[in-house]
Chain A
């Protein structure tokens, strides 16, 4: 094993070990715990970037990826091997995942109030209001496990190991969303962290179970789960494509693709399984950043990027396979659907949550139309600016909570209507948030988000996917609009509450990650500018990102001609959305008590958006409650207790009745006569007992009487 293979192996190890070290040994020492966690993820970052730079420096790296594996499960005469592999796509992930994770863990130090003493009023299981987080060490342990799982997924060379990381992340999100497991709200309708945790786990598990069927199916048909072995083998791909599946009309490849894609629908929160993600905001904010940017949801998109050769099998690379059509539809619909909901949210984190769903829809739709490189590109840029925005929102909330301590106001520190004017109080957070927001909105030419979004739109345009193009354009417009709304409501104008006026900039451990991420939220876009883009294309090395990543695929993927039209549209919707947002919210910021202007303008539609199209209510009515009823009443009471036990009890009673009958026969039929006989004998014994006196005189008397009697009888007879 050469040095780089060893490093590839070691990338996910430190955070995974850190989890166990913190849980088992350092759980009483806060400082040591975060040092272990930071050190571990720092090591991973070092390993990852060493591998990244070696990969970037290798000519034709794609043809000679790093790969190493061990025997894991014997399967009759063959062996299932587990291993890691680093190809260009993995390199992209290894560039941003450990960095984002490192910054998130660093940020968590300040976020958890490190440095303040432990306050007895802060109970474990609830957010700390006075001192340091009482479950400080545990938080870093969980974050470490999360990061380790994501890195494991990234370097996995087969779908099963990927699924390991996938599911462990599911567990981590469950543990972290429900981190404040004891928290209750006054409003009983508001979802608590523990409910949100279960919801997230159950929703994604539903998808994962279906994905697992896909994995099992793929393994059965292909005989292996190793990515390279499947995609680079024409025999296997042909076999998958020409074997009819269980469902008529679909080839095995397509059904497998669809089943696996369901996993992404759950993990990356696509319609109709997106419902868990907004509620996942109940977790501490670094967790939201972890879930929404660095790890979990990115994993869903990464997986379908990884599986693209299978998903696109049977169609052209630019769409046409049944799987891709479904992906384009779901992705496009989700992008628009979630963007509309984001318009009407007042919770600073929930806006970002719906924006994440929407942006992931972009990536899924991009893959659905074959924009492979663009999807990977947007995945990377989104990770940077979304991590930035989430941590920014955490800093905002922290600031407002700080103000609440001084004013003793009772208010929701996450409600943007309670904010305003924070730009002056929290300048670093403000400026970095603006950078992130503009990147999300796709502010032309300077932000990373613009370049990656434009790449998707341009690809859709170039290959004539008109409706995807239009839907994504509308979503981009809405995105720019709600981003401006968010920036205006939060930072601009005057403070609408006392607490907001007393807000305070966060500690350096929280703001430093924001600054670092802002840097990437701008610059990361320049690696993927289209090669024919005037001036920039040439200057930036003819789209190095595309040239590097496309080598991951077994077949050559054609680029597309540069065209000004989609760029123009892109610029237009970005500027237009931001401009409209400015007109409504930014020019004259809301004052305290003033209602959101959208409420009046959208009327009943606004209610529908605030209610998130009432999908939660529908699921509860149509799925959750029936499932409860079936399990409590049908399966347990009726089937087990009434029917099965009823039959058993009937048999038992019948047997007992036979037993009772046999007893009756025994008693009256068999025992009666012998009993009476013995009773008679005993009775006669009793009667004769009186003569057994034990005195010789009595016996002689009886004998004499008997002799006389017998003699008398004999005498009479003989005569």
Chain B
């Protein structure tokens, strides 16, 4: 039994949500509470299995572990090939942790509960597939699978209010605008990715990542008549970068994010910020850096510069918001900017002969993966906490909210401050560790860019405090005093594991960074 599970652990994790979907389908739609509980239990299975994965993962080993290979689409020489390393294991844990929390958050959803839960579970499989796939076609397949449920989650269960002007005076409902922008933008970005994957497949004679890692970077023959290989290679590189940069999102491809995050239902925002953004960063680490070392090195300064723009302008834009949720949404642009900064630093020094530079690159990479995990925790918590207030007063406007909520909801206030501080990067909580590692890694490589990014960190403080001040501080708010503002037990259960992890990682990150370290080292070479 044990043997059976261990040999198929990844497949079990990957398809457990699909099994869950079948179980949910068997429950009659009218029995909403049953649908909710079945979904929750179903989503706890992959979580349990990923803890098993975490425990059995060998930190000291290089290369992929828990590999599984099976015939799949033989005609195009694509196979079902899964495997994990120190980058993907934390991401899998993050995904399987946030999904049950998202489902528990969604217990308040009343409209078409069954469809909602089905989409949510489908989303989980899509995301997990990306983190596990070692075959590019499989990767792309899961990449696109994740897109569909999110589109429906936003457009059907999104915020009912609001309009957006779309060009010359044409007005559309905000959630329609947001979901459409999210879908088309991401899809448009990934078209080039599909094309580039095909070129790689042409060269490698396979879509298997292990094969391609060996063949593609060293390929020097002619691909297409009259087109130099370097141009093809460069085009493929930029196609990859564009797809992932939109997903991260990197400045200036980020404007879909505040819209989508703001309009999505609370749990949708949690997953969107918590996991979906990481798919882009993961793509950089898993595919772009290893497959295109030379191109990535050349493009690293550009990426670093855009990362700096994301950090500074993201923080500034967050500070400029009067919508609480949009403020939190912009904080994702700010935080994911650090991820790209670390990636750029790693790209610049990968394969360097200077030991000091390699050390910096390794630290930056460790920081990047940890920052992805940390942002997953804090962004999910922050969106959740915005949702808590929204559920009660049905507004996200900070001015309309009017502050003075701390007296009405003391525990909520404490939780909000705690999570905000994690997001702000307070030492002792998780965000600081990863930002420190990234900044330390990037400093010797892109000093000026890093220094300016630190100024962005200052504005991070400004917008975080603005959020706290406008929600909690002020004389007791009589407008909402007849609402039950305090967090419920269910809500405490949702946020408690996130807070606990924030604290543990912040105090002693060894347990998670030691998982990442070896892979980070081998990525830098």
Partner of A76 from the list B184, B359, B428, B436 (CB cut-off 8 Å) is B359
> How far is B254's CA from A644's CA once the two chains are assembled, in angstroms?
9
> How far is B167's CA from A653's CA once the two chains are assembled, in angstroms?
8
A597 within 8 A of B: no
> How far is B513's CA from A71's CA once the two chains are assembled, in angstroms?
11
Q: Which residue of B lies closest to A175 (CB)?
A: B417
Interface contact B428-A164, CB-CB below 8 Å: yes
Q: Which residues of chain B come closer than 8 Å to A715, judged between CB atoms?
A: none
- Interface flags for B435-452 (1: CB within 8 Å of A; 0: not) read 011011001100110110
B-facing residues in A120-137 (Cβ within 8 Å):
123-126
Interface contact A644-B255, CB-CB below 8 Å: yes
Interface contact A171-B421, CB-CB below 8 Å: yes
Given contacts A205-B461, A631-B316, contact A213 B454 (CB under 8 A): yes
Q: Which residues of chain A come closer than 8 Å to B319, judged between CB atoms?
A: 627-628, 631-632
A441 within 8 A of B: no
> How far is B451's CA from A310's CA once the two chains are assembled, in angstroms?
21
Stretch at the interface among A177-185, A269-277, A423-431, A598-606: A177-185
State the Cβ distance, A76 to closest chain B Cβ, in Å: 4
Partner of A213 from the list B166, B254, B451 (CB cut-off 8 Å) is B451
B282 within 8 A of A: no
Query: Number of A residues whose C-beta is below 8 Å from B?
Result: 63
A698 within 8 A of B: no
Partner of B316 from the list A123, A178, A635, A641 (CB cut-off 8 Å) is A635
B313 within 8 A of A: yes
Q: Which residues of chain A come closer than 8 Å to B219, judged between CB atoms?
A: none
B457 within 8 A of A: yes
Q: Which residues of chain B come closer than 8 Å to A202, judged between CB atoms?
A: 458, 461-462, 465
Interface contact B255-A640, CB-CB below 8 Å: yes
Q: Which residues of chain A come closer than 8 Å to B254, judged between CB atoms?
A: 640, 644
Q: Which residues of chain B come closer than 8 Å to A693, judged between CB atoms?
A: none
Partner of A168 from the list B426, B447, B465 (CB cut-off 8 Å) is B426
Q: Which residues of chain A come closer than 8 Å to B318, judged between CB atoms?
A: 631
Given contacts A168-B428, A635-B316, A636-B317, contact A72 B509 (CB under 8 A): yes
A78 within 8 A of B: yes
A-facing residues in B440-483 (Cβ within 8 Å):
440, 443-444, 447-448, 450-451, 454-455, 457-459, 461-462, 465, 469, 472-476
Given contacts A209-B458, A649-B167, contact A631 B443 (CB under 8 A): no
Stretch at the interface among A216-224, A314-322, A483-491: A216-224
B155 within 8 A of A: no
Q: Which residues of chain A come closer than 8 Å to B358, judged between CB atoms?
A: 76
Q: Which residues of chain A come closer than 8 Å to B255, judged between CB atoms?
A: 640-641, 644-645, 648
> How far is B362's CA from A631's CA once the two chains are assembled, in angstroms?
34
State the Cβ distance, A54 to closest chain B Cβ, in Å: 28
- Interface flags for A587-617 (1: CB within 8 Å of B; 0: not) read 0000000000000000000000000000000
A30 within 8 A of B: no
Partner of B469 from the list A73, A194, A632, A640 (CB cut-off 8 Å) is A194
Given contacts A73-B509, A181-B406, contact A78 B359 (CB under 8 A): yes
A56 within 8 A of B: no
Q: Which residues of chain B come closer than 8 Å to A443, judged between CB atoms?
A: none
B321 within 8 A of A: yes
Given contacts A76-B363, A632-B320, contact A168 B166 (CB under 8 A): no
Q: Which residues of chain B come closer than 8 Å to A209, judged between CB atoms?
A: 454-455, 457-458
Interface contact B462-A630, CB-CB below 8 Å: no
A241 within 8 A of B: no
**B contacts with A: majority SS:** helix
Interface contact B443-A75, CB-CB below 8 Å: no
Interface contact B513-A74, CB-CB below 8 Å: yes
> How far is B413's CA from A317's CA once the two chains are assembled, in angstroms?
49
B404 within 8 A of A: yes
Partner of A216 from the list B440, B476, B509 (CB cut-off 8 Å) is B440
Given contacts A73-B433, A164-B427, contact A219 B469 (CB under 8 A): no
Q: Which residue of A lies closest to B514 (CB)?
A: A74
Q: Which residues of chain A come closer than 8 Å to B181, judged between CB atoms?
A: 648
A167 within 8 A of B: yes
Interface contact B426-A198, CB-CB below 8 Å: no
Q: Which residues of chain B come closer than 8 Å to A210, judged between CB atoms?
A: 454
Interface contact B320-A633, CB-CB below 8 Å: yes
> How far is B320's CA from A631's CA once the two chains are assembled, in angstroms?
5
B366 within 8 A of A: yes
Interface contact B474-A181, CB-CB below 8 Å: yes
B159 within 8 A of A: no
Partner of B510 from the list A71, A632, A636 (CB cut-off 8 Å) is A71
Q: Which residues of chain B come closer than 8 Å to A219, judged between CB atoms?
A: 440
> How far is B313's CA from A181's CA once the two chains are assembled, in angstroms?
30
B395 within 8 A of A: no
Q: Which residue of A lies closest to B503 (CB)?
A: A20
> How far is B520's CA from A77's CA once the two chains are assembled, in angstroms?
11
Interface contact A182-B454, CB-CB below 8 Å: no
Partner of A212 from the list B184, B321, B406, B439 (CB cut-off 8 Å) is B439
- Interface flags for B314-331 (1: CB within 8 Å of A; 0: not) read 001111110000000000
Given contacts A76-B363, A181-B473, A644-B252, contact A216 B320 (CB under 8 A): no
Interface contact B414-A23, CB-CB below 8 Å: yes
Q: Which residues of chain B come closer than 8 Å to A652, judged between CB atoms?
A: 166-167, 184
Enumerate the 4 nearest inter-chain pairs by beta-carbon distance, A residue then B residue, closest first: A631-B320, A632-B320, A635-B316, A76-B362
Q: Tell me the A residues contacting B by CB distance below 8 Å.
A: 23, 70-78, 123-126, 160, 163-164, 166-168, 171, 174-175, 178, 181-184, 194, 198, 201-202, 205-206, 209-210, 212-213, 216-217, 219-220, 246, 627-628, 630-637, 639-641, 644-645, 648-650, 652-653
Q: Tell me the B residues contacting A by CB distance below 8 Å.
A: 166-167, 181, 184-185, 252, 254-255, 258, 313, 316-321, 358-360, 362-363, 366, 404, 406-407, 410, 414, 417, 421, 426-428, 432-433, 436-437, 439-440, 443-444, 447-448, 450-451, 454-455, 457-459, 461-462, 465, 469, 472-476, 508-510, 513-514, 517, 520-521, 524
Can you list 5 A-B contacts (CB < 8 A)? A76-B524, A126-B475, A194-B474, A201-B465, A212-B436
